[in-house]
């Protein structure tokens, strides 16, 4: 996949372009991007995506940036995996004041050589988000771009949206979030040195600090899957701030990996949250906490056994 930036132009072929923020690249996004890929294949064009870098976008009417479902690096990887040839992903500030018609004329037609554009019904563009999907259709006709507004994909009678997925994750409902995403929610983060308290209790853990800007799940314990060099292991993960041991820290993902022994410090691991077990809470003593960790570990082992590991550890478990 070729990344466009600055003054880059696509000149050697026409493109079918999918438009949106595509935060999380969930199943609804995949449907829109898939339409661009299909149209490109039918006409011998290249498939392209235009989306702003998520970490630069502010919420409508506010200066605060939205909480990301995935990093922009992972977003690009997921977009590429859907069959995209070109990705144009500038910072929001570069185009936030561009009038809607200039965006269609200079970006879609001028930079991306777009002959077909597809977006969702809630797509907005241009200064102040005044351009709507119907405006894209109108301006597309003016500049020779066939435009399609894809219907919103539904799950159990509700539209699949990044906003709803973020809400589900904050509530700890990672199961429903996964059904909407099309994959298990989680992080890809470096393992840091911790207090090594768990090692003293015979439950050695890996610590991954969750950076600001990524959506935080409900604090508590989860059954999880850990990707170590392409091999998946079951895990028990606590998301939170360690209230019992009184460690002043940013939110951490602290995971006990079932059946794994080895030094993982400094390595980057993928972590997927599969099932919420209990909320994070403060215990009266370290002994009580240790007993609870053992209990949670037994729960996770039984969970994996009952649900069969091969079912839960496939990379893509859900179909549209």
Write down the domain spans for the chain.
2-155, 184-312
Closest CA to 223 of 271, 183, 153, 165: 271
Closest CA to 111 of 84, 88, 133, 145: 88
pLDDT at position 33 is 98
Q: If DSSP codes are grouped into helix, strand and coil, which group holds residue 230?
A: coil
Specify the CATH architecture of the domain 184-312: Beta Barrel (2.40)
pLDDT at position 291 is 76
Distance CA 181, CA 29 (A): 9
Please, are residues 317 and 178 in contact by the beta-carbon 8 Å criterion? yes
| E strands present in the chain | 2-4, 15-19, 46-50, 86-88, 114-119, 146-149, 154-155, 158-159, 186-190, 206-209, 220-228, 231-240, 252-257, 268-279
Q: How many CA atoms lie within 13 A of 89 on its CB side?
A: 26
pLDDT at position 64 is 64
Residue 98 exposed, middle or buried by CB count within 10 Å (0-12, 13-18, 19+): middle
Please, are residues 106 and 97 in contact by the beta-carbon 8 Å criterion? no
Residues linked to residue 236 through DSSP beta bridges, in sequence order: 223, 256
Q: What angle do CA 57, 58, 60 make, to 5 degrees?
A: 125
**CB within 8 A of 289, min separation 6: which ones?**
244, 245, 283
Q: If DSSP codes are grouped into helix, strand and coil, which group holds residue 177?
A: helix
**CB within 8 A of 312, min separation 6: which ones?**
225, 274, 304
Task: Mark 127-147 as b/e (b = at least 16 C-beta within 10 Å).
Answer: eeeebbbebbbebbeeeebeb
pLDDT at position 301 is 84
pLDDT at position 198 is 47
Residue ranges of the chain with per-residue pLDDT less than 70: 59-64, 194-203, 242-249, 283-286, 288, 308-320
Distance CA 234, CA 92 (A): 38
| Domain 2-155 in CATH 3.40.50.620 | yes
Q: Which residue has the tokens 């859907």?
A: 82
pLDDT at position 15 is 98
pLDDT at position 120 is 96
Distance CA 59, CA 65 (A): 6
pLDDT at position 11 is 86
Closest CA to 239 of 255, 249, 253: 253
pLDDT at position 306 is 82
**CB within 8 A of 31, min separation 6: which ones?**
150, 153, 320
């Amino acid at each position: 996949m070729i990344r466009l930036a600055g003054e880059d132009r696509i000149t050697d072929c026409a493109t079918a372009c999918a438009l949106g923020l595509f935060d999380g690249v969930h199943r609804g996004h995949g449907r829109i991007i898939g339409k661009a890929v299909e149209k490109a294949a039918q006409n011998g064009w290249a498939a392209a995506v235009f989306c702003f870098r998520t970490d630069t976008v502010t919420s409508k009417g506010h200066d605060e940036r939205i909480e990301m479902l995935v990093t922009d690096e992972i977003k690009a990887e997921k977009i590429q995996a859907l069959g995209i040839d070109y990705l144009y992903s500038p910072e929001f500030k570069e185009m936030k004041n561009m009038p809607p018609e200039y965006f269609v004329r200079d970006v879609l037609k001028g930079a991306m050589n777009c002959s077909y554009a597809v977006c969702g019904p809630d797509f907005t563009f241009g200064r102040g988000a005044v351009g709507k999907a119907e405006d894209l259709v109108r301006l597309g006709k003016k500049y020779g771009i066939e435009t399609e507004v894809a219907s919103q994909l539904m799950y159990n009678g509700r539209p699949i949206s990044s906003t709803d997925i973020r809400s589900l994750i904050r509530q700890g409902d990672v199961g429903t979030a996964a059904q909407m995403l099309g994959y298990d929610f989680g992080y890809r983060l470096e393992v840091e040195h911790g207090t090594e308290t768990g090692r003293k209790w015979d439950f050695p853990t890996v610590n991954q600090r969750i950076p600001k800007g990524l959506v935080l799940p409900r604090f508590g314990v989860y059954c999880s899957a850990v990707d170590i060099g392409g091999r998946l292991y079951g895990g028990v993960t606590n998301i939170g701030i360690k209230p019992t041991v009184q460690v002043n820290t940013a939110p951490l993902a602290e995971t006990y990996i079932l059946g794994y022994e080895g030094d993982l410090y400094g390595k980057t691991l993928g972590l997927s949250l599969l099932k919420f077990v209990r909320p994070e809470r403060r215990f009266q003593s370290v002994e009580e906490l240790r007993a609870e960790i053992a209990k949670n570990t037994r729960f996770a082992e039984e969970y994996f056994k009952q649900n069969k590991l091969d079912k839960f550890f496939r990379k893509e478990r859900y179909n549209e």
